[in-house]
Amino acid sequence: MLKQHRKPSMFVRRTIENNEKAGIRPNKTYQSFVAAAGGHRELNFIKKDVRNYITREVRNVSELQDEKEYARSRATCEYFGDVISFDTTYNTNTYNMVFGSFIGVNQHSQSTLLGCALMKNEDIQSFKWLFECWLCCMGGNAPKGILTVQCALMQRAIEACMPTTIHRWCIWHIMKKIPSKLNDYKRHLKIEHDMSHVVWNSHTKELFDRNWNDFLIKYGFVDNKELSGNVF
């Protein structure tokens, strides 16, 4: 069939686009058209046309959309990227990969996505690669501060890629581990209650330092290295 006579219909083009988004291989897509039509000769296009359409139209559009998203993320990061959080607590079920997200806070105190990635491994090289790629996409401007879970490998990667960035642990993850550290104390429920009150209701550094010091003295935790150290 001459090339000028090979032209997939609108239905065929939409099916190709939907199958590509669903991760169906071009060969499978073409074979489904063959089966539905009753043979190769009944189609006015060939397998190569399916591949060409995906390359020329579907993936090219996706790349243009990606460029727009990069630009939007860069602009968002410029305004709301002073202090960010990096979270890897979500796993994808299908491919058993970790979803890492860079999150900022906008002028309405709402979380805003500044970038994301899928990671196969959570080792220092993977973290360094991800941080370097994200910094490159964001124009090379490192945030002033970053909040993460307690992970030594992640901390080393941040120190290597963002040496001027202040790194702190996410308070939610710290508080989540507290009960297991206090279970041996008879009054652990009261201790947890008072600790939560200090953490969540001290809205300035000065007030927190004063309330935290009073809490340590009240329960005799002044010499407790985990609580009297640089935990917060």
Identify whether residues 102 and 114 lie together within a single domain.
Answer: yes
6-29: pLDDT as tens digits: 677 778 878 887 877 777 888 888
Instruction: Identify whether 138 is part of a domain.
Output: yes
Where residue 105 sits, what CATH number does that domain have?
3.30.420.10
Instruction: Identify whether 76 is part of a domain.
Output: no
**Structural domain for 192, as ranges:** 172-228
81-119: pLDDT as tens digits: 688 899 887 776 667 888 889 988 877 778 888 888 888
Strand order in the sheet with 145-148: 111-119, 98-105, 83-91, 145-148, 166-169
Identify whether residues 32 and 93 lie together within a single domain.
Answer: no
Identify whether residues 157 and 202 lie together within a single domain.
Answer: no
Give the domain-ending residue among 126, 149, 169: 169
Is the entire prediction scored with pTM above 0.75? Answer: no
C-beta neighbour count of 45 within 10 angstroms? 19
Q: Are 118 and 92 in contact (CB under 8 A)?
A: yes
